[in-house]
């Protein structure tokens, strides 16, 4: 049965390069890498909104998974990604204020993701993968009102970090909405998946 489900998974996500699809809050998210261990998990989505490499940017957002036990703050998560060499995170004000996040995706030809204006980010969280980012005071995400060292992580939440321009206007090609990199399987692969799940359920009932 495990072999069948493995084949179904391969069929479902063939052609998805780089990140590995992970089921989280009812959707499959392209997760670049995981750090940490424990029973709690969150997915961090960083969206550079094409401000890093201009209109040629291939993928403006990337997702990263973090696991932990007990209590953890947003600063703990970012430090874990930085220490693992997955992201390059710089902070100010004793680690409470985000300055920049760098990420190198070897499959993207236009260079590393790195915000052109340090410190210009909005941060928020949600459990709804389809929530509208919006703007401060008009968003379906819960915008962070404290520093990185005071914002607690919650199991099952998305943590969003969205690039903006505090000291300038957005270029015409930029997108100011955070987009979670969700994988949408094609209908034929959904049929394979549904069939595999049905066989699995029937097999369990026969035991």
Tens of pLDDT, residues 145-189: 999 999 999 999 999 999 999 998 899 999 999 999 999 876 644
Question: Which helix (H) or strand (E) covers residue 125, if one does?
Answer: strand 121-126
CATH code of domain 31-180: 2.170.130.30
Q: What is the DSSP string of 62-83?
A: EEEEEEESS--BHHHHHHHHHH
What is this structure's pTM? 0.82
Question: CB of 153 within 8 A of CB of 77?
Answer: yes
d(CA 43, CA 45): 6
Q: Check residue 185 and give its pLDDT.
A: 72
For residue 12, count other CB atoms closer than 10 A to its CB: 20
**Would you list the domain boundaries of the chain?**
1-19+187-207, 31-180
Give whole-number Cα distances, 153 to 41, 127, 197, in Å. Answer: 9, 12, 32
d(CA 105, CA 100): 16
The answer on pLDDT for 12 being more than 80 is no
Q: How far is CA 119 from the centre of its chain?
A: 20
The answer on pLDDT for 82 being more than 80 is yes
Q: Residues of the chain with pLDDT > 90: what percent?
A: 76
């Amino acid at each position: 049965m495990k072999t069948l489900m493995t084949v179904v998974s391969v069929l479902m996500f063939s052609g998805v390069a780089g990140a590995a699809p992970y089921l989280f809050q009812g959707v499959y998210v392209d997760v670049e890498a995981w750090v940490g261990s424990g029973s709690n998990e969150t997915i961090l989505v960083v969206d550079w909104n094409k401000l890093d490499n201009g209109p040629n940017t291939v993928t403006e957002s990337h997702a990263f998974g973090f696991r932990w036990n007990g209590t953890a703050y947003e600063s703990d998560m970012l430090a874990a990604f930085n220490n693992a060499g997955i992201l390059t995170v710089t902070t100010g004000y004793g680690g409470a204020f985000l300055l920049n996040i760098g990420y190198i995706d070897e499959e993207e030809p236009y260079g590393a993701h790195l915000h052109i204006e340090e410190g210009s980010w909005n941060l928020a969280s949600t459990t709804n993968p389809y929530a509208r980012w919006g703007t401060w005071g008009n968003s379906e995400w819960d915008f962070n009102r404290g520093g990185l060292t005071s914002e607690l992580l919650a199991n099952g939440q998305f943590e969003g970090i969205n690039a903006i321009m505090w000291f300038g206007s957005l270029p015409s090609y930029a997108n100011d909405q955070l987009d979670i990199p969700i994988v949408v399987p094609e209908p034929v692969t959904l049929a394979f998946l549904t069939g595999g799940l049905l066989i699995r359920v029937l097999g369990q009932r026969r035991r």
